[in-house]
Chains A and B, each alone.
Chain A
């Protein structure tokens, strides 16, 4: 039984939630992340084995796929980020390695990132103050890399217009949170 207590990226015992006039910003610490990069000549193997393990196909360029609990995001050529509930998949990287073997390189990415979800009708009004991604026309289940306040982030549209996830470097969680909060107060 692990006798160390985890803290969230913002340093609290539980997730931070902030409400604004049309948007809620939620810290999401309860997700495990792992990167999957197909090895040379192993695209097919990686795709097949990943599908077998996840139950759905790895997504194409700029898209995401999932079953409501597990998700896969395209984050680069032959590279995906897999997301799963932390409570059941804390060893996600090890699980993926077992399933994919030598077809792909896997790394644990869980605590490399902080994830903030934006939900509500005001999402795009806030996002247009933060990112030069064309969030007004971003389709559901799509993802892009973007810079937010000088931080390299991932931005995923979960549901067009009302649900987005921003991943940023965990060490800069406070900076990123502050930038999102400030934009929300300003735009809404």
Chain B
């Protein structure tokens, strides 16, 4: 029979029927159902197997606090484990499978664990599986690992997209129950910018689960009217399916909006979820309360659930877990479940109330002063066993038991910044302490005010108060009449008798026995209790179990509950998918891609690109017939040194430095002198850190008395700019100097080789003489090219050849590379990439990032004398400290292998011939290495103790970890044209 446990009424749309499957079986439900409610309506109580002991479990709750009914939802690449059936909105074609069981939910072989529960209690891995020791790594641990975990991943790429978003408001209302709605209405009518966020897919909070009246009509009518008004207002943003996951600094809240999870697949271009960052001037937490159970022997059978959830299923979802139910409670509120289920035609066997003076509120048997001491029905509850007030026992037949131990206000967010809740004896629960995040206040059940009337009143009042703090005048609004039932409860945490296990944390399988064990072994503080037993450490974060655990620990320790206290609630309030946290930053969009002005042209040439930070740079340009990168790189080097080559060097940082004190400023940041650099000249500059270590290097050109353009390495462009801003703003604020980046604004190409001048003369406008006499080495000038286009020309060389760098505004960069290549045809011009660039600078012994590695000094680089003692600069003083100036300081030298078949390998360390190969005898290390097609040999440069005095010496180059052992000879780092004649040609 279809949906045997359906009831009349409810907020489901019976005009449409949805089909879904659970563990391969087909069922039907309706829009408005969750997976859990639809399963219950179909007579399914068994929904999962517990983590450790694989006990059969059913749904405990009807909300996001659910510990048991965790399923793998959807199939294929969208399959998601650990999805709570209680919050999964039913859609047509939904596929769900239970987890953590083999081969099936009904028969799970791993339930054998339950038989060995004595060996698997809290902290078992500190006591068992220890002998023999050798078994741990290869046998025990892999087995335990395999058994652990709940759901499984699809291991396929997530096909959905996730957005980030940013919202601002005056008042963020968290939760759209009676408190939140009253608050939102009050604030909205006052004209404030309001965001109303609701975790559920309908607004109304607890009002959807109860059968209350508000004003003259039903509570649901009031919710509809209120939502209609709110949704029509332009200053209100109503966000359903949106969980506020955390309260962060400065009023910033994280929120996850489930945009498409209730659809079979997201619409094209739409995200599955959005991670919102909400900047709220004030926040009102109206998150309600979560019911807590009572612990008793075998209290975890399918069919045993929270009493409030049982009536939520009946009232909102028109479903009952069984045709005959019972209620076990310590408070008046639990009786509501009996009342509501009777009204829906469900048989209520009895209300069992721990209080001897329990009032009779429902039209069914009341058993006061009694407790449930055991249950039976492995795959689904069928009997409960009671201890009556007079000491006798009684058995009651029922298919479901609603349990109520009272309600816990949802204080979590008030503790996200290390606030602590305080104990309220009246309701035997923790309520927000006064030390929550600044700007956050609480109203309604979340604040311990459980009646609807109190929620409405306090929600409105707190909204007025919050807005007043923002100087927004919010008049009081008329609030309808609502139930104002007082809390009538006697604290009762667990039934003491029974030899079996009473469950606290049903997701992590933590029992009352585990808490006793923790106490016995002296793990008595609430923090130790949590971590030793794992109580509260599962995906439900102990929402239905923390209270029970610490109440029992309090009893054992002879303390009051507030003395034991709570652990710290941390964001996220409910689990968040990693994809949601990643947003659009994944795959090719993980970080921005920066392309050089010649990128399109280089791609046309078939260049191979390499990532350099966010940049893509051409690494080499393979030609037809070349099958290995060495062929391309060797060719590019030979061609450039032999005639002319062009390389895009736009990526190097360009910092514009101007002002009356620009030159002095450069003197401060550079180790060497810049103040007297003539206009029209460029100079190599070395920048030190405050501690005397080399930070970056580059060249700075003086275009005018008060105008310099500094270049930095590609990698440090941002760091150096930031550093210079810091120096200006914080160290030298009185200097007249202005800084701005121009890295992006100019396309810059190196033109290098004996024919570089000849090539450039074809594009530089005739008015400008770039002969050796008119434009010598290290010159710079503002010129025009190609018929009047403004350009900058620098005669600098990283390759060691006669070379220039030419810059034009970036929009002309593409045209310029094409023009240069065309002009260079007669010289067999080649484009060269970063590999050839690297080979040539190693051949010249030029330092680059590998050598400026954060531990080396000017002295190590052979530039000790460049640190001018005639003027102060950053790093000057500390560069003189003894530790950086030992007698045998590292010095930059070159290396060649003794055998032509050997390679010099960067990262290898140097050992003096005959010395032991260990750290104590370490003489230095190789930083850069390559094959030099000019020398037909592998070469390298690096740092060697007292290196300059050891030219010609043979050393061992070794890397014990990678099996490298090569004999190398120490040589000058300047392998090619050591005198530098070509530069000055």
List the interface of chain A (C-beta within 8 A of B). 1-9, 11, 29, 35, 37, 39-41, 79, 91, 102, 105, 107-113, 128-129, 131-134, 136-137, 149-151, 169-176, 178-179, 182-183, 185-187
Contacts and interface: CB of A to CB of B under 8 A. Distances in A.
B165 A128 contact: yes
Contact of A150 (B592, B599, B706): B592
Interface in B241-278: 269-271, 274, 277
Given A2-B789, A137-B168, A178 B589 contact: yes
Contacts of B659: 39-40, 105
Nearest to B810: A111
B594 A171 contact: yes
Contact of B585 (A113, A149, A172): A149
B885 interface: no
5 contacts: A4-B808, A7-B815, A113-B744, A132-B166, A171-B595
Given A136-B168, A172-B594, 19 more contacts: A5-B812, A11-B599, A39-B738, A40-B661, A102-B660, A102-B706, A109-B742, A110-B809, A111-B809, A111-B811, A128-B166, A132-B279, A170-B744, A171-B650, A172-B593, A179-B584, A182-B584, A185-B269, A186-B269
Closest A-B pairs by Cβ, 4 of them? A112-B745, A111-B810, A105-B658, A185-B269
A142 B657 CA distance: 28
Contacts of A39: 659-660, 736, 738
Given A11-B600, A108-B745, A149 B584 contact: yes
B787 interface: yes
B816 interface: yes
A3 B786 contact: yes
B742 A107 contact: yes
A32 to B, nearest CB: 10
Given A40-B736, A108-B809, A111-B810, A149 B592 contact: yes
B595 A174 contact: yes
A115 B614 CA distance: 20
Contact of A171 (B279, B615, B661, B790): B615
Q: B-side binding surface: helix, strand, loop or mixed?
A: mixed
Contacts of B747: 111
A107 B656 contact: yes
B282 to A, nearest CB: 16
Given A40-B660, A113-B744, A171-B615, A129 B163 contact: yes
Contacts of A111: 744-747, 809-811
B814 interface: yes
B741 interface: yes
Nearest to A131: B166
B761 interface: no
Contacts of A37: 658, 738, 740
Contacts of B660: 39-40, 102
A88 B810 CA distance: 18
Given A149-B584, A149-B592, A4 B819 contact: yes
B886 interface: no
Nearest to A146: B166
Interface string B781-794: 00001111110000
Of A110, A173, A175, most buried by chain B (CB within 10 Å of CB) is A175
B898 to A, nearest CB: 45
Contacts of A35: 740
Contacts of B166: 128-129, 131-133
B600 to A, nearest CB: 5
A149 B163 CA distance: 11
Contacts of B959: none
B591 interface: yes
Contacts of A183: 163
A154 to B, nearest CB: 13
A109 B269 contact: no
Given A108-B742, A110-B809, A134-B279, A3 B787 contact: yes
Contacts of A113: 744
B596 interface: yes
A166 to B, nearest CB: 14
A170 B165 contact: no
B130 interface: no
Contacts of A169: 594, 744
Contacts of B658: 37, 105, 107
A91 B809 CA distance: 11
B242 to A, nearest CB: 14
Contacts of B269: 182, 185-186
B812 A4 contact: yes
A29 B811 contact: yes
B28 interface: no
B167 interface: yes
A5 B274 CA distance: 43
Contacts of B809: 108, 110-111
Contacts of A176: 592
Given A39-B660, A105-B659, A129 B594 contact: no
Given A39-B736, A110-B809, A112-B742, A186 B161 contact: yes
Nearest to B734: A40
B164 interface: yes
A127 to B, nearest CB: 9
A186 B738 contact: no
A137 to B, nearest CB: 7
A40 to B, nearest CB: 4
B167, B594, B814: residue with the most chain A Cβ atoms closer than 10 Å: B594
A81 to B, nearest CB: 10
A144 to B, nearest CB: 13
Given A6-B811, A111-B811, A129-B165, A175 B589 contact: yes
A186 B790 contact: no
Interface string B772-804: 000000000000011111100000000000000
Contact of B787 (A2, A91, A133): A2
Contacts of B614: 172
Nearest to B729: A77
Contacts of A175: 589, 592-594
B191 to A, nearest CB: 13
Contacts of B600: 7, 11
A7 B745 contact: no
Contact of B167 (A4, A109, A128): A128
Q: Which of A132, A133, A171 has the most CB of B within 10 A?
A: A171
A4 to B, nearest CB: 4
Nearest to B784: A2
B811 A171 contact: no
A4 B786 contact: yes
B380 to A, nearest CB: 45
Nearest to A170: B744
Nearest to A168: B592
A82 to B, nearest CB: 13
Nearest to B707: A105
Contacts of A132: 166, 277, 279
Nearest to A35: B740
B790 A91 contact: yes
Contacts of B270: 185-186
A39 B658 CA distance: 9
A2 to B, nearest CB: 5
A67 to B, nearest CB: 25
Nearest to B789: A2
A55 B825 CA distance: 50
B812 A6 contact: yes
Nearest to A20: B269
Contacts of A102: 660, 706
B281 to A, nearest CB: 11
Nearest to B651: A171
Contacts of B193: 136
A186 B163 contact: yes
B593 to A, nearest CB: 5
